[in-house]
Amino acid sequence: MHVLTELGAALAAGSVEVVDLTTPLTPETPILQLPAPFANTVGLSMTPVSAFDDAGPGWAWNDLRLGEHAGTHLDAPSHWITGRHGKSVDRIEPARLVGPAAVVDFTAEAAADADALLEPEHLERWEAEHGRFPQNCWVLLRTGWSARGEDPARFLNADEHGLHAPGPSVAAAQWLAAHPHVSGFGVETVGIDAGVAGGFNPPFPAHHHLLGADKYGLTSLRGLDRLPVLGAQLVVAPLPVVGGTGSPARVLALVERAGA
């Protein structure tokens, strides 16, 4: 309990900051759009039940219609065919949802080329500089893409050839999936794969390899520029939807501030 008491005191004093990495969820929040003939999920819609009126004079509440994979969300293994017999979101161990954040800065590459691909050498260079990825960590790919978040068209960045957004190559997806210390992979973009990854072999390799290896995905993160390269603790809080293939999530980082 001594460690938790110290953490509580640090949070109260502000020497440990809680950084919210979640995109606010509204009906306008960009949602991944698949081409025909594939079906698409829905975003958020809210229907009032009562709002301090005759239907409920002292309370307000709403009914929600919401896709599992809307906004900032977690991908569970059962989301993908390679993990179809794996865990649904309610079966993910809570300990896997809390762990160190390892931030890989890919902003320069993404600024130079919207289709830039993360390769194993980028990850190996990170480990050469900072040490091996820590046990049970979340690798977070910082691309600066969240700056586009208020403009759905610019965020999705689609043209007649499909979406254009940075993400891992096939080799990088395999590398992350094989790393014994990696619990999950998080991105600022609408999905954990690169925009052009539908044309890779296999298609959508981050989904294919990571979810098939009992690793988890996080999308539409914001505020990664507020995190250190290493040292923050990530808290991922999806809804434990029984049988769910994923869930919108609140994602928080605990960050110790310098000089605290």
Q: Are 104 and 168 in contact (CB under 8 A)?
A: no
pTM more than 0.75: yes
pLDDT tier at 35 (50, 70, 90 boundaries)? confident
Report the phi/psi class of residue 105: left, alpha or beta, with left for phi > 0 and alpha for psi in -120 to 50. beta
Per-residue model confidence as pLDDT tens digits over 71-121: 999 999 999 999 999 999 999 999 999 999 999 999 999 999 999 999 999
Q: Which sequence positions are flagged as catalytic? A: 79
Paired with 102 in beta bridges are 139, 230
Paired with 98 in beta bridges are 235
Query: What percentage of residues in the chain have a pLDDT greater than 90?
Result: 95
Per-residue model confidence as pLDDT tens digits over 124-168: 999 999 999 999 999 999 999 999 999 999 999 999 888 999 999
Q: Are 213 and 174 in contact (CB under 8 A)?
A: no
